[in-house]
Amino acid sequence: MKKTIYIVLTDTGTLLSKAIGMYTRKELNHTSIAFDAELLEMYSFGRKQRHNPFIGGFVKESATEGIFRQATCAVYSCDVTVEEYTRMLDKIRLIEQEKELYKYNFIGLFGVAVNKGIQREHAFFCSQFVAMVVNEGGLQMFNISPSLVQPHHFSQLPSLDPVYEGDLQTYLNQVRGQQERPPIRMGMWKSLAFRLLA
């Protein structure tokens, strides 16, 4: 019996995402892992407070709120065994139970820039976290340390099948059907102010 995980790359439009993009020269600079096509169970490392990008850590993300409301994305799927799926979820549940211990690995981002992996205890950046989780599940997707994995590396993996690329809310409306109400778009000035604060 097979299960499916989803790797989600997004362009959230935040200042941190733009700063990372200046280095990677890629548009999609945030990585999440989800355990359902509807992205109801989606996890990553990122901001813990909506208006403060410098307080980060483990987050269960809502794909219809905050920085995701106007995000573009690429969604990839990967079939795994029940055992692999369970190991990955167990690892996430363990981190979730101790989430106050975990921080965002800002220093690790600088390590990536000089191709030197910096592994800190209880600290990850988004793509490092996702790479670690799939490793814990027994999926050896990369031949480099998770601390060197960048978001665009996932898009180059032959083991991942592309599912969708485009507006994230359009994808959610398609997979969640009519039960999911379309998100209310922020006004232009509110959106601009939010992104400047992001």
- Is the predicted pLDDT of residue 84 greater than 80, yes or no? yes
At 142, give phi and psi (nearest 5°). Answer: -125, 150
Strands of 52-61's sheet, edge to edge?
52-61, 42-49, 30-34, 2-11, 72-81, 161-167
Q: How far is CA 115 from the centre of its chain?
A: 21
Instruction: Kindly report, residue by residue over 4-45, the tens digit of the pLDDT.
Output: 999 999 998 766 677 776 777 788 999 999 999 999 999 999
Q: Are 53 and 126 in contact (CB under 8 A)?
A: no
Whole-model pTM?
A: 0.85
Q: Are 11 and 71 in contact (CB under 8 A)?
A: yes
CATH of the domain at 29: 3.90.1720
- The residues near 107 (Cβ < 8 Å, ≥ 6 apart) are 118, 120, 123
* CA–CA gap between residue 83 and residue 25 (Å, rounded): 36
- Is the predicted pLDDT of residue 196 greater than 60, yes or no? no
Instruction: Kindly report, residue by residue over 89-134, the tens digit of the pLDDT.
Output: 999 999 999 999 999 999 998 899 888 999 899 999 999 999 999 9
* CA–CA gap between residue 133 and residue 83 (Å, rounded): 13
pLDDT band at 79 (very low <50, low <70, confident <90, very high): very high
Please give the tally of structural domains in the chain. Answer: 1
Give the containing element (helix H, strand E) for 112.
helix 106-113
Instruction: Kindly report, residue by residue over 37-72, the tens digit of the pLDDT.
Output: 999 999 999 877 666 667 889 999 999 998 899 999
- The domain of 162 spans 2-197
pLDDT of residue 195: 46
